[in-house]
Structure 1
């Protein structure tokens, strides 16, 4: 399973066996059951997680209605955490829960910073991933503000094309929430 993390990092920076062993020594494996919380609103977020197995959703919940507003999915080869709470060392304002049984590798902020200081390759990897994440977020915001439901749906399909099985793993009501449309609108888009 750790090979997935190595492949992920080496897509940006090649590593020696010793360098990867040093990186891996800072991570801890965590297994979660379906519906378990990885991050829960109101709790401190102590780790950032690399997904080895399973699928998760990140969302905020309306305290009055209980409606969920999903803003991210995470599956194998992706990173998940409550970013603000993790980096500011505050309580989470979001939830991340498991849509399936999951296995993740967690790293603390202290270890993340230590690795970045110890190994320039890891620091470079983090910088590239942060930039790519920012670009993805910017595109998502543009689509939510200016795009039509059809634009958002087509972007979702393109974005997750490299994970074709993912679309079938996520309930359609969750996809509709992510796209900011009703389940009925998603059904119409899906039939096209």
Structure 2
């Protein structure tokens, strides 16, 4: 029985380390601006945490010489406690910290950029710009413009969502004036 608990412990540990290194597979970790709901209940992180709890609780109980039923109850209690702790305490703290980062996507609104991959009507392209802290940023952008925005076109970031920067073209005479002001 101890072998099963140790296997659960190892698989849970691998799963937790994997989600820390690679991230969630399903991608529902919130928008990063504090509006996301966080991880869904049946996420890889939750499953790995539960497996780790099953293995840890069961291993400790089995090594202490507990009966198989007591070890099973201890493993279930440990799994439930770890998942509750992770989802109820740690995850909300991490999501709040993410929302309090120095630069969020909302800070990109109002920035000027340059098209690096043409933006066709109804399609996305790519722009490059400098964020308020001076870092060079590349991002997927879409535009309501009726014509394709060519590579090198100056754009204004008017809105952001979780996937795209919404940009509008800046007429050439205005973009050269604004470049002189920066």
Give the TM-score normalised by the residue count of structure 2: 0.29
Larger relative contact order (CA 8 Å, sep ≥ 6):
1
Give the TM-score normalised by the residue count of structure 1: 0.28
Structure of greater Rg: 2
Specify which structure has the higher proportion of strand: 1
